[in-house]
């Protein structure tokens, strides 16, 4: 769904000014499906490490991975734009970060809920949804304790398989969030953790199909696997 510019311009300006007061920002343009998108993110995500107190880290072990646009998110967004027919689908993205895949899915005609554990990430996702004139819903979601009762046709996630402790919770979250016939697409740059995740997913009655992709937008090409997951 498209949003008229006069409705969002004031909110965009206010939100940008709030974010600019707290972060060094960068805005980048990407092309997906012959359409140009603009995404706001943090200029240097490593600078955010100083903001994490030892107490916060012990509690959640949360690193500011959300602040950067990773090759897996770009690759997944391109895959959504070029390969998937999701118009009219109810879609959720977990670990949405700044919301790139959510924005592209909404542009493709899906009804999208962008979720992340970080409330800061959701502020950026909201800005990027408004900037790209798509309608997104936003909700904080902890995949360790999924409290969302809705089930979705399609689930997207990029670069979420980086810590062993998260693997089983993510499989469990997929089971809770997907409709019986639902489909998940998980993008990962061939991390070792992904193999363990896929083993857990198969043990929990998921069937996996892999779509190898190549990201060439950085200084070094990155192979990104997109795993299509359905219940066996």
Provide CB contacts within 8 A for 58, sequence distance 6+.
none
- Domains of the chain, CATH where assigned: 5-231 (3.40.50.150)
- 158: tokens are 């990029």
The two tokens of residue 16 are 């940008």
Q: Is the pTM of this model over 0.85?
A: yes
Give pLDDT, residue 5: 65
Query: Mean pLDDT across the chain, nearest whole number?
Result: 91
**DSSP letter string over the chain?**
-B--HHHHHHHHHHHHHHHHHHS-EEEEEEEETTEEEEEEEES-GGGGGGG--HHHHHHH----GGGS--HHHHHHHHHHHHH---TT-EEEESS-TT-HHHHHHHHTT-EEEEEES-HHHHHHHHHHHHHTTB-EEEEE--TTS------EEEEEEES----HHHHHHHHHHHHHHEEEEEEEEEEE---HHHHHHHHHHHHTTEEEEEEEEEE-SSSS-EEEEEEEEEE-
pLDDT by residue (tens digit) across 98-125?
999 999 999 999 999 999 999 999 999 9
> What pLDDT score was predicted for residue 218?
84
Residue 51 clears pLDDT 50, i.e. is over it: yes
| 53-103 tens-digit pLDDT | 545 544 455 666 888 899 999 999 999 999 999 999 999 999 999 999 999
Q: What is the DSSP string of 44-76?
A: -GGGGGGG--HHHHHHH----GGGS--HHHHHH
Q: What pLDDT sits at residue 9?
A: 86
Distance CA 176, CA 215 (A): 31
User: CA–CA separation, 12 vs 130, rounded Å?
Assistant: 7
Alpha-carbon distance of 81 to 104, in angstroms, equals: 7
pLDDT in tens, 15-46: 999 999 999 999 999 999 999 999 999 987 65
């Amino acid at each position: 769904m498209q949003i008229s510019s006069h409705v969002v311009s004031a909110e965009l300006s206010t939100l940008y000014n709030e974010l600019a007061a707290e972060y060094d920002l960068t805005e980048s343009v990407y092309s997906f499906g012959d359409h140009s998108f603009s995404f706001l993110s943090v200029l240097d995500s490593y600078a955010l490490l100083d903001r994490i107190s030892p107490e916060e880290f012990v509690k959640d072990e949360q690193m500011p991975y959300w602040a950067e646009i990773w090759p897996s998110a770009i690759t997944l967004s391109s895959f959504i734009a070029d390969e998937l027919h999701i118009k009219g689908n109810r879609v959720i993205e977990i670990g949405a970060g700044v919301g790139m895949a959510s924005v592209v899915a909404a542009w493709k005609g899906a009804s999208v809920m962008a979720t992340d554990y970080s409330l800061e990430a959701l502020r950026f996702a909201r800005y990027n949804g408004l900037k790209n004139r798509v309608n997104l819903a936003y909700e904080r979601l902890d995949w360790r304790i999924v409290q969302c009762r809705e089930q979705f046709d399609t689930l997207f996630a990029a670069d979420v398989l980086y810590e062993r402790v998260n693997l089983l919770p993510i499989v469990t979250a997929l089971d809770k969030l997907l409709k019986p016939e639902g489909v998940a697409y998980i993008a990962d740059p061939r991390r070792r953790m992904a193999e363990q995740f896929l083993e857990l997913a198969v043990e929990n009655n998921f069937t996996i199909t892999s779509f190898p992709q190549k990201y060439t937008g950085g200084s070094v090409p990155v192979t990104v696997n997109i795993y299509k997951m359905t219940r066996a």
